[in-house]
Amino acid sequence: MAVMDYVVPVTKIKQSLSFEIKDFYKMLKNWMKERGYEIEEKEYAESGHDNGHKTHFVWKCEKKMDSYTKIIIELNFIADTKDVVLEDDEKKKTLQEGNVSIAVGGYISKDIEDEWAMKVKTGFERFLRELYDKFGKGQKFEEYEGKLKKDIETIVYDIKTYLKMHRFD
């Protein structure tokens, strides 16, 4: 089993606004793909209720750094919205208006191929793996941590910018 080192605490973004969920979803997907992340959609649910819609999705976005390591961004999106129609220059556009909550966090997954898991039988062998992580790959892990922190800072900034720019009210 891979070892996970949580590098970046979860950042939460909450906003009340009018926007198009489909466009936002596409923006996030393109952002991840442009930076080499593979998206695993762990959950996706849409449901209607009396006052509108609830949309929820959870992504696990992985980027393989080498044969031993992956960096992972987890994204949890929840929107409780209702449809509104905006008329502009004889064009009608349906938007979603409501509350959005997004949580973004990240970690580094080490020993992704379970090279050590098969061998780790004693505390000493586990200690050897820790030494390997610290001294054999330590500098690489610092580089990967920096890359992950930068990617999460950037996606959080881009999400906040997108949500502020796409206000129609």
**pLDDT of the residue at 2:** 64
* Stronger pLDDT, 18 or 150, i.e. the higher one: 150
* Stronger pLDDT, 84 or 88, i.e. the higher one: 84
Is residue 132 over pLDDT 80? no
Banded pLDDT at 159 (limits 50, 70, 90) = very high
Is residue 168 over pLDDT 60? no
Is residue 26 over pLDDT 70? yes
Number of domains forming the structure of the chain = 1
Whole-prediction pTM: 0.81
Distances (CA, A) of 98 to 16, 50, 53: 5, 14, 9
| Count of H-run helices and E-run strands, the chain | 3, 5
Distances (CA, A) of 160 to 85, 104, 157, 168: 23, 12, 5, 15
Read off the pLDDT of each residue in 113-134 and give the average, rounded to a whole number. Answer: 62
Residue 157 host element (H or E): helix 138-165
55: tokens are 């949309």
Residue position matching structure tokens 């080490």: 110
| Residue closest to 106 by CA, chosen among 140, 34, 156 | 156
On average, the pLDDT of the chain sits at: 83
92: tokens are 């009608």
| Residue closest to 24 by CA, chosen among 95, 111, 83 | 95
Distances (CA, A) of 142 to 29, 57, 59, 135, 149: 27, 30, 24, 11, 10
What is residue 32's three-state secondary structure?
A: helix
CB 11 within 8 A of CB 105: yes
Quote the percentage of the chain above a pLDDT of 90: 44
Tens-place pLDDT, residues 27-60:
999 999 999 999 999 999 988 877 788 999 999 9
User: What is the span of the domain harbouring residue 147?
Assistant: 3-165
Q: How far apart are CA 154 and CA 159, in angstroms?
A: 9
